[in-house]
Amino acid sequence: AVKFALGDVDKDGAVNSVDASMVLTEYALLATGHAPSFDEYEKRAADVNEDGGVDSSDASTILSFYAYVATGGDKDIYGFLGK
């Protein structure tokens, strides 16, 4: 199994707007019939709602978490998601 950090698509140790942007870019590729560009790590990290896909819902959740942390939230992404 691939080890991954949920939400940290670019592997920089933080979950932020860059990760959300990467998710939206991947979703746009997939939605327009292009081949996926994410490797297995990126796909697992991006699928924050764990529904098996990478889409705008994942990007929105990543942005919501980033805003939460940026305004003083102290939970990790799993706590934020209620997991």
CA atoms within 13 A on the CB side of 35: 2
pLDDT digits (tens, 9 = 90+) for 55-75: 999 999 999 999 999 999 999
pLDDT digits (tens, 9 = 90+) for 7-25: 999 999 999 999 999 999 9
Decide if pLDDT at 1 tops 70. no
**Opening angle at CA 42, ends 36 and 45, nearest 5:** 130
What the block records as the tokens of 18 is 């860059």
